[in-house]
Structure 1
Amino acid sequence: MGKSIDSPHFYMFWCFFRDLGIRLPFTQFECDFLNHVNAAPYQLHPNSWGFLRAFEVLCTVLGIEVSLLVFLHFYQLKLGVPPYGILSLNGGKGGGLFTLYSQSYKNFKQEFFRVALVDVNPMEDGAFYFGGLPKFPFYWCPKPSRFHGVDQSKLTAAELVAIKDLEALPRPLDCKFILSLERSAHRERDLESEYFAFDRSLDCLFFRFSSSFPLLFCRSYGKVVEGA
């Protein structure tokens, strides 16, 4: 699955589209992640792609900017057995955001296809290239880059607030449910009914925790208040 002399191409597993709602071209967030870990799309396990997609959907529903650094805060990368081991994301020290999409993704490698960029001019195409260079690695990378969370000093004030808000959620959130919100005409309402008790008079979300100290998220102020 290395680089060849025919049209530029990359491989994708069918379950990426069937289960996880991945679309082509990739979003900027997805391209940024693949570049950060130095990996082609098919080097990443489907469950890890599920984390990426669920993060994008969740941030969109909550009105949070989709930030690579915010995502990296919650995860770390586990390398597969060389030379062709699949990469996977695990929750960081503080835990991840989502459950696995599937507890058993058996035989997913048997259903794949090749995306060939036939007659595509790298200098003119904006879907898969930028400035004539691929937006992400097309071919298998033998030396992916591991990471364990993110350096807090690299985060902006807005990203620190986003992390605090996401950390306050009743994690882990159900990955399949979060992905289903993308197809919902009432995303906020569906999320609220699943995880929150919403007080519209205060424009606040009461998170449904099992602890004795509920958290209150006031959307009008954009912050979490403990013990509300």
Structure 2
Amino acid sequence: MGVLRALDVAPAQLHPNSWAYMQAFRILCQFLYLEPSPYAFLYFYDTRPRQPTTWLALISRLSISRLDAFSQSFKHFKDGYFKVMVKEEGKPYFLNANGSTKFPFSWTGTPSRYKDMGTDELSAGDKEVVETLMKFVDKLPTKGLVRVYNSVHPIIDIEGICLLLKLC
């Protein structure tokens, strides 16, 4: 939700690879006992919103990219949409305690532009996350990390990924 708020985009407005990057980042931070945050995540990406507003994709910063693309091609992802209906029991997932929305529900015409964020713009906690991830020299497999999310044995699976990459 924090990334959606920072970018000022609705969930359906974000490109599928961007969702995969966020999930992989969260799982990687969890494995490394780091606290993921929107700005630590966005440090590794740029955005280039277009006018008129279309899908927003996170673009890896080449010199510091730590995750590879989930897929080089997503076919037909633009054909489906979903409708958000907030029922009383679902309020905490979509609305803050004061009733404001946690993220935009509909496409916004003015997504935020991120480009070359510096470490001086990060909080101390975000710097720790970025510095730890910068120690990895190779790109990490986004697809493998995302698969860990639904795994029966996530720790074993993520350790397997790390051993393959000689990270553990």
So what's the TM-score if we normalise by structure 1?
0.65
Give 1:112 deviation, angstroms: 2.3
Match of 2:82 in 1: 113
Which of 37, 41, 44 is 1:71 aligned to? 41
Q: Hey, what's the Cα distance between the residues in 2 that align with 1:96 and 1:147? A: 15
Match of 1:193 in 2: 160
Query: RCO (CA 8 Å, sep 6+): is it higher in 1 or 2?
Result: 2
Larger Rg: 1
Q: Gaps spanning 5+ residues in structure 2: where?
A: none
- Alignment of 1:162 with 2:129, yes or no, is yes
Give identity over the alignment, percent: 31
Which of 59, 67, 88 is 1:90 aligned to? 59
Aligned residues: 167
Q: Gaps spanning 5+ residues in structure 1: where?
A: 1-30, 198-206, 210-216, 218-228
Which structure's residues are more often strand, by fraction? 1
Match of 2:6 in 1: 36
Alignment check: 8 A CA contact 2:11 2:105 kept = yes
Match of 1:23 in 2: none
Instruction: Give structure 1 regions of 4+ aligned residues with deviation exceeding 4 angstroms.
Output: none
Q: Which moved more, 1:175-184 or 1:165-174?
A: 165-174
**Aligned-pair Cα RMSD in Å:** 2.4
Q: Hey, what's the Cα distance between the residues in 2 that align with 1:37 and 1:45? A: 13
So what's the TM-score if we normalise by structure 2?
0.86
Alignment check: 8 A CA contact 2:7 2:113 kept = yes
Which structure's residues are more often helix, by fraction? 2
Q: Hey, what's the Cα distance between the residues in 2 that align with 1:112 and 1:85? A: 14
